[in-house]
Structure 1
Amino acid sequence: MKTVLKATTTGLLLTFFMAPSVMAQDQGSIARGGRLFDKWCKEIKAEVPTESHKLYPAANEKYADNPGANWRCKECHGWDGMGVDGAYASGKHATGIKGINGMAGGDPAAVTAVLTGDAHGYGDKLSEADLMDLANFVTAGQIDMDVYIDRATKAPKGNAVQGEQVYNTVCANCHGVDGKLPKEMPPLGSLMGNPWEIMHKVLNGQPNERMPALRAIDHQVATDILAYLATLPKE
């Protein structure tokens, strides 16, 4: 029994920590960039702009007059970074704006130039460090979500049994064994209608919250966590 437990534990630790190319970039910077992509105002404790972003299309009546939404990078480009070609191709978040996936593997300085240009207008809103982190996320932090999530069914391509083991070790202390904590947020099981958002937050953390970023783990382990979340109560 002890031999099996030791081997299993060792295997889990190796699987858990050996993410592909994990040391190729500063994972902390990339994760923070992911949180800025999510909701930069909250991450840096800044006031929400009072006017809507100039690039956000007026045709989207739900968010066109909501600066708190349309200044978020994810609102135009989608949680999967694919914009009009991804999960935001249709529905209430559709904008017709292209994704950022074409900038993956590119030059962070080029991304910073776009962000600080007149069109995007982040030059007076984000610090040099913020811009660097966001550019690092765009160029080195994007993943192909289709590898881990079935686009048609929204089902994570993971192992729920293995995901349960990781969840109970890493996540349950804050979210509870049934995913119903903290009380001020919806049950985790009810959030799996948007698995791309949950994958993003598992990897990068929640803006300006204590939730840890699990970017340094193998992304398949993160997918296993999502598969387990899909089994949790929705109410």
Structure 2
Amino acid sequence: MKRAFQSVKYLCLAGIAAGLAGQANAEHGDLHDYAHSEEAQEYIHGDPEQPTDTWTLSAGGRIYDNWWNALDREPPETTHPSYPAAGAQSGSTTWRCKECHGWDYRGAEGIYSSGSHYTGIKGIYGAIGANESAIAELLRGPDHAYTEDMIDDEEMARLAAFVSRGQIDMSRYVNLETREIRWGDLNRGRAIFQSVCAACHGFDGRAYDWGDDGEHAYVGTEAAAAPDEVMGKIMNGHPGVAMINLRAFGPEAAHDALSYSATLPQ
């Protein structure tokens, strides 16, 4: 670990911190705020002594999702200088890679071609196979403006590796025009969910509820409404919490788990 950690408490939209699994369920009300133990800190924000490529790519994917939660940093207080004035977002969320480039990595040519996340900015899909040092240099440049205090060089290398080698063709798993799942193997997905995901989320996916104002939002709700986002989190984990990921088993396994998750109660 290269830096002192700043805090152990995070607001999250998916996943759950280690040590809290099974301690609450949907009947206990909405659970948005999770604390994780000191024992979980190493897994969530640390790095292994001999990191595999699989770990590096999933870590880079979490940085792409939300780098300050992934890296235990303070979120920016300003709107990103390159965020278009016509965009609907403001503040720290505009510093997230996914906010402009999308969960499908296609930016204005993908699911974010319209709606509240539209920016007109192209995606990163064309950077697959690109030189990782060049990607890191671009991310340090004025268009992206990520300083070493935000993302240090070793962390930036993980993000660059993800951009070059960690992306998946989301169109194989999600219809980018309708944002609907292209169904996978539900039986295999059921097996994965019941033996892995249910440890935290419960067999019906309702152990935790991320809804607001009386509206429920369970695993099934999220998987059906935003399958590209959930696919990304299944592949890489959710930043800032001890959520497992399935990158080591490949996108087909993640797709099957996503497909089954979308059949769970909403």
Q: TM-score, with normalisation over the residues of structure 2?
A: 0.75
What is the DSSP-based 3-state SS (H/G/I as helix, E as strand, rest coil) of the residue aligned with 2:174? Answer: coil
Equivalent residue for 1:6?
none
2:64 is the counterpart of 1:31: no
Query: 1:48–1:67: 8 Å Cα contact kept in structure 2?
Result: no
Provide the C-alpha distance between the structure 2 equivalents of 1:223 and 1:184, rounded to a whole number of angstroms: 22
Provide the C-alpha distance between the structure 2 equivalents of 1:219 and 1:171, rounded to a whole number of angstroms: 16
- Identify the match of residue 133 of structure 1 among 141, 149, 158: 158
- Pairwise CA distance, 1:142: 0.4
Provide the C-alpha distance between the structure 2 equivalents of 1:95 and 1:121, rounded to a whole number of angstroms: 17
Query: One-letter code of the match for 2:102?
Result: G
Aligned pairs (5 A) from 1:52-67: 52-60=79-87, 62-63=88-89, 66-67=90-91
2:227 is the counterpart of 1:201: no
Query: 1:156–1:224: 8 Å Cα contact kept in structure 2?
Result: no
- Pairwise CA distance, 1:123: 2.4
Aligned pairs (5 A) from 1:136-175: 136-153=161-178, 154-175=180-201
- Pairwise CA distance, 1:54: 0.9
Query: 1:82–1:101: 8 Å Cα contact kept in structure 2?
Result: yes
Query: One-letter code of the match for 1:74?
Result: K
Aligned pairs (5 A) from 1:209-224: 209-224=241-256
Higher fraction of helix = 1
What is the DSSP-based 3-state SS (H/G/I as helix, E as strand, rest coil) of the residue aligned with 2:249? Answer: coil
2:116 is the counterpart of 1:85: no
- Pairwise CA distance, 1:183: 4.4
Query: 1:42–1:208: 8 Å Cα contact kept in structure 2?
Result: yes
Cα RMSD, aligned residues only: 1.4
What is the DSSP-based 3-state SS (H/G/I as helix, E as strand, rest coil) of the residue aligned with 2:175? Answer: coil
Provide the C-alpha distance between the structure 1 equivalents of 2:156 and 2:110, rounded to a whole number of angstroms: 25
Q: TM-score, with normalisation over the residues of structure 1?
A: 0.84
Aligned pairs (5 A) from 1:43-54: 43-54=70-81
- Identify the match of residue 258 of structure 2 among 203, 207, 226: 226
Query: 2:246–2:253: 8 Å Cα contact kept in structure 1?
Result: no
Provide the C-alpha distance between the structure 2 equivalents of 1:39 and 1:218, rounded to a whole number of angstroms: 22
- Identify the match of residue 117 of structure 1 among 118, 141, 144: 141
Query: One-letter code of the match for 2:205?
Result: G
- Identify the match of residue 179 of structure 1 among 205, 219, 222: 205
Query: One-letter code of the match for 1:131?
Result: M
In structure 2, stretches of 5+ residues that fail to align are 1-51, 212-216
Query: 1:150–1:157: 8 Å Cα contact kept in structure 2?
Result: no
- Identify the match of residue 72 of structure 1 among 79, 91, 96: 96
In structure 1, stretches of 5+ residues that fail to align are 1-24
Provide the C-alpha distance between the structure 1 equivalents of 2:71 and 2:240, rounded to a whole number of angstroms: 7
Total equivalences in the alignment: 207
Provide the C-alpha distance between the structure 2 equivalents of 1:37 and 1:87, rounded to a whole number of angstroms: 17
Query: One-letter code of the match for 1:155?
Result: I
Equivalent residue for 1:19?
none
Please identify, of 157-166 and 81-90, the stretch whose mean Cα deviation from structure 2 is larger: 157-166
Question: Given the superposition, is the C-alpha separation of residues 84 and 46 from structure 1 closer, same or farther in structure 2, using an over 3 Å criterion?
Answer: same
- Pairwise CA distance, 1:230: 1.1
Please identify, of 93-102 and 142-151, the stretch whose mean Cα deviation from structure 2 is larger: 142-151
- Pairwise CA distance, 1:218: 2.6
Provide the C-alpha distance between the structure 2 equivalents of 1:45 and 1:97, rounded to a whole number of angstroms: 27
What is the DSSP-based 3-state SS (H/G/I as helix, E as strand, rest coil) of the residue aligned with 1:216? Answer: helix
Query: One-letter code of the match for 2:67?
Result: W
